[in-house]
Structure formats: structure tokens, C-alpha cells
Amino acid sequence: MAKIKIQQIGSPIRRPNKQEQILIGLGLGKMHRIVEREATPEVLGAIAKLPHMVKVVD
């Protein structure tokens, strides 16, 4: 599978706890942090649930 880079662009403050847990599961948690993950269906689904908090970086 291909690798993708994910950057956190939104804060989990005043968000549901579930969204914060998804960020932690992706390896994020601090603003503007970038992580590299495999493009599995699980990771892509987590990104789809947080379009307002994360973006895929080239």
C-alpha cells in the first residue's frame, strides 16, 4: 500500500471525545504535526471522519 502524510489542522478542544480519540489513533494530537501512515481502509476512514481537523499533505 502507498504511504500518505497526514497533518493536523484543527484543535480537538470543544470537540466530542470520539474525535479526539481518532486523532490519537492516527498518531496526532498537537497542532500542525505531520505523520506518515499506510493508506489502509481504516486510516482512510478515520481521515474521512475528521475532514475539518486533518488534511493529506503531498
Helix (H, G, I), strand (E, B) or coil at 52: coil
pLDDT in tens, 3-57: 999 999 999 999 999 999 999 999 999 999 999 999 999 999 999 999 999 999 9
Which of the following CATH numbers is that of domain 3-57: 3.30.200.20, 3.30.1390.20, 1.10.260.30, 3.40.50.800?
Answer: 3.30.1390.20
55 φ, ψ to 5°? -140, 155
Q: How far is CA 37 from CA 2, 14, 27, 28, 56, in A?
A: 9, 26, 9, 11, 11
Ordered by start, the domain boundaries in the chain are 3-57
State the CB neighbour count (10 A cutoff) for residue 23.
22
Three-state DSSP at 34 gives: strand
Question: Can you give the pTM of this predicted structure?
Answer: 0.89
Strand, helix or coil at 58?
coil
